[in-house]
Amino acid sequence: MERDPLIIDITQDLERIDDVMTRIIFDDRAATDFKRDPNGTLVRFGLHPPTSAETNERVNRIFYAVMTNAELSRIVEEHYKSFAPVSGEAYVARHIEGLENGRIENDLDLDLAAVEHLFAAPDTLRRIFQLMLLDLNARGILRKQHADDEITDFVERLVVSISERKPIKEHPILEEWDRNYGIGGFHFGAEAVEVGPVATAYTAVEMGLFVTVFGLNSRVPDLDTFSMAAKGDRRATVRLATMSRIVNFGADLMLHAQQFEKR
């Protein structure tokens, strides 16, 4: 897959996300910490940069708000119904092999294909960003209140930047919380990228998290897997245990997010 400046920026985190999420999901303490403090846990595992307690709390609130935005989830799910990457069978085979070794393992090209599937649909991108940011604005999670027209203008400029495949550091900024965090384009250091965690990263850098944990490749165990495990097939047993762990983690995280938003 050809790598333009935007994809090169995004690739750094996509290369690391499977390993980080494996470590979090299969460590009871880390899984509990992630539910309570998702951004802080990603900082501890080196995926996100350190920040202040205030910014960390804001990013966590965004994370829970995005997770519980039913209309946003519906749009993303609907869009990915048409996601049929080339080499799909090979991607599934690698994912299953990872499960049978007790880890999350997706081909990087699959994560990049998932990102491209969204980047190639500017109207969907526009709807997602608009819905997301208007909701965060209405909930008072952002640092300041923005007029709807201001958000609409920002989203339009952001979608243009993505369509033109500009590097993240050249993307427009709606809010800047520190040198690494905010809503818009941030580039820190030389080895990692943040795209306005979680608000815009949800549809770019964090797409690996969505694809890995919440459904596109973490399929519910099928009857064949149960049958093979019951017959003593060790690889099937590990695969079943791994998939169950992922599903339980996702369900617990969603339940926690829903309870958090009701407070």
Give every CB contact of residue 19 below 8 A, 6+ residues apart in sequence: 103
pLDDT of 22-75, one tens digit each? 899 899 999 999 999 988 998 898 888 899 999 999 988 988 888 888 888 788
pLDDT at res. 160: 94
Residue range 7-34: mean pLDDT, rounded: 85
Both tokens assigned to 113: 């294909």
Q: Give the residue among 118, 105, 124 at the shortest CA–CA distance from 212.
A: 105
150-154, 160-164, 200-204: which is most confident: 150-154
Q: What is the pLDDT of residue 36?
A: 92
- Per-residue pLDDT tens for 179-227? 888 887 654 332 333 433 333 344 334 444 555 544 444 455 567 787 8
**Buried b / exposed e along 169-195 (16+ C-beta atoms within 10 A):** eebbebbebeebbbbbbbbeeeebbbb
Is 211 in contact with 91 (CB distance < 8 Å)? no
Q: Which helix (H) or strand (E) holds 24?
A: helix 5-25
Q: How confident is the model at residue 156 (pLDDT cuts 50, 70, 90)?
A: very high
Domain locations in the chain as residue ranges: 5-262
Longest Cα separation, the chain: 61
